[in-house]
């Protein structure tokens, strides 16, 4: 969504609120389409002296594979963004400061990269997820598969073969 900085300055409170949704379902993160739900962006742009203050929140529910058993897990994503936008380069570069040279502010271009930086895609379906058996692939949350869990040192395995 675009916001005009001129309109922000001309508005009664010197502030414009925004609240909208975008579809990022085509974005692939780590091989997965994590954005199966719409992404909501809301907040405000406020005129402050020579600059503008952008306060925004990006919210969605991510669908990611459990880091251990690969089962799909839904997890809340909540990213807070607080930035100062200025029309001219200040003498000292401040952190969280963006220089804008147009009147139109494309909020997606500012907020979505912040969402990606903040994205938490390493999640477990439950804290004690047992994962899947590396030998037979069975989901160990559903019970033991009977495979030997002992990791045999390959050098010792060779020795054992020789001794047979
Ligand atoms: Zn799991
Ligand atoms: Zn197994």
Distance 132 CA to ligand 2 centre (A): 8
Nearest to 65 by CA among 157, 139, 150: 139
Q: pLDDT tens for residues 23-42?
A: 999 999 988 999 999 999 99
Other Cβ atoms closer than 10 A to 28: 10
Distance 144 CA to ligand 2 centre (A): 7
44 pLDDT above the threshold of 80 = yes
How many angstroms separate the CA atoms of 94 and 39, rounded? 29
Distance 60 CA to ligand 1 centre (A): 21
The rounded Cα 121 to chain-centroid distance in angstroms is 7
Cα distances from 143 to residues 1, 81, 123, 138, in angstroms, run: 49, 44, 21, 9
SS3 17: strand
Tell which wins on pLDDT, 64 or 96: 64
Mean pLDDT of 129-135: 92
């Amino acid at each position: 969504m675009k916001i005009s900085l001129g309109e922000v300055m001309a508005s009664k409170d010197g502030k414009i609120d925004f609240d909208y949704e975008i579809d990022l379902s085509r974005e692939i993160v780590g091989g997965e389409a994590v954005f199966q739900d719409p992404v909501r962006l809301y907040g405000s742009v406020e005129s402050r002296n020579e600059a503008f203050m952008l306060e925004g929140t990006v919210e969605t529910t991510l669908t990611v594979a459990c880091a251990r058993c690969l089962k799909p897990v839904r997890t809340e994503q909540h990213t807070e963004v607080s930035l100062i936008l200025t029309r001219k380069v200040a003498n000292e570069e401040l952190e969280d400061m963006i220089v804008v040279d147009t009147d139109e502010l494309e909020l997606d271009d500012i907020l979505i990269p912040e969402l990606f930086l903040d994205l938490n895609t390493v999640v477990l379906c439950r804290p004690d997820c047992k994962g899947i058996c590396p030998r037979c692939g069975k989901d160990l949350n559903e019970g033991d598969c009977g495979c030997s869990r002992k990791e045999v040192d390959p050098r010792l395995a060779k020795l054992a073969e020789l001794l047979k």
